[in-house]
Amino acid sequence: MGNFLTGASFSLVMPFMSLYVEELGARGNQIEFYSGLAVSATALASAIMSPIWGSLADRFGNKPMMVRAASVMLFTMGGLAFVPNVAWLLILRVLTGVFAGYIPNSTALIASQVPRHRAGYALGTLSTGLVTGNLMGPLLGGLLADTFGMRNVFLIVGGLLLILTLLTVFFVKEDFVPVERGQELPMREVLAQFKDRQMLLGLFVTSMIIQASAQSIIPILTLCIRHLGQTSNLMFVAGLITSAMGISSILSSGFLGNIGDRIGNHRLLLGALLYSFIMYLLCAHAQTPLQLGLIRFCYGFGTGALLPSVNSLLTKLTPKEGIARIFSYNQTFTYLGSVLGPMIGSGVAAYYGYRWVFYVTSGLVFVNLVWSLINFRQYLKVKEI
């Protein structure tokens, strides 16, 4: 429930972020640029701060970090309703990134307490909340923006984050013994327990590319749908098309997690990357908003195997004493993907057109697929994987 509300709070504003930037005074190519920057600023700040919060989580527990993230975002996200210009929008987006971290800490909390042979199922189920929130949020956001106006949606987001804070304080439990400062396992010793650090780096980079490919589309999707001919109820239709993946992802996440536990999460990850590559290519050839929505619906059946597979592999390879820090570093790479993705998407759209965003994204996924195949090939029989 917490992951759903977090994902929904962030994604509610995505269908109209570019239109909101335009309302705040941006013109011409500035709209695409500032739309991408508004998304990237949050991710960049989170990438910088994530290792710090991860170290504190290993000392004090993941739940306090979740409460901290939810309570501060209540004000930084809700405050977007009152910004007078793009500069203040960017400032609040940066502050949101500085204090974010609900998702990686909830993932680390589950990963540190679930039996490792069931990690794929548990993390796949957990990711259902996040994926559902991320992908259903735009549908609600577009509908709410059309009904109540864009600024009022930010106030609704603040209300959701208040609920999130209360749920976390009163209903999330954690079996954790605080560690005194200086007594935590040094990062060098955590890394020394990995049989091959190249694989760890490969998983980090995979998280980055998965996120970059997903986020490259988001800032320009509404504009792309308008380019394809949609004029009436634009924000609602954009939210519906974005959320189409959520419905199919809900149906597949738990099932794919069980498959990953049986056949190996590395094999499931490779299959999901190949599927993603094909789906992005098909999106580039969509001629109408309906075609684009149907393709994204089909794509959703594979999204539930991407980041959960990476998280499952990290869970099985990481010593429990350092799991929060490893997940925080992985989240740093994920945030870097959130920085690169929107900037790539906005830049490509501004100079080459919207279709080329899908082509470039499919190219990124293909490169990651090849590298992952090479990286996993020599480890297919390693017991921990």
Asked if the structure places residue 163 within a domain, the reply is yes
Asked if the structure places residue 14 within a domain, the reply is yes
- Predicted confidence at residue 384, as pLDDT, reads 47
The residue whose two tokens read 């974010």 is 100
Asked if the structure places residue 12 within a domain, the reply is yes
- Predicted confidence at residue 95, as pLDDT, reads 92
Asked if the structure places residue 232 within a domain, the reply is yes
CATH number at residue 293: 1.20.1250.20
d(CA 372, CA 313): 13
Asked if the structure places residue 181 within a domain, the reply is no
**Splitting the chain (385 residues) into consecutive groups of 10 residues, what average pLDDT does each group show?**
85 75 78 76 82 81 90 91 88 90 85 74 76 73 80 89 93 76 64 71 87 78 82 75 75 74 82 90 89 87 77 77 77 80 82 87 91 75 48
For residue range 282-325, list pLDDT tens digits in order: 988 888 888 888 998 888 887 777 777 887 888 777 776 677 77
CA–chain centroid gap for 328, Å, is 14
d(CA 53, CA 280): 34
CA–chain centroid gap for 1, Å, is 16
For residue 274, give the nearest of 247, 302, 298 by alpha carbon: 302
Residue count of the chain, please give it. Answer: 385
Domain of 272, in residue numbers: 2-170+193-377
Asked if the structure places residue 185 within a domain, the reply is no
77, 154 contact by CB (below 8 A): yes
Asked if the structure places residue 314 within a domain, the reply is yes
Model pTM score: 0.71
Side chain identity at residue 30, one-letter code: Q
d(CA 11, CA 222): 13
Asked if the structure places residue 69 within a domain, the reply is yes
- Predicted confidence at residue 200, as pLDDT, reads 80
Please tell me the total count of domains within the chain: 1
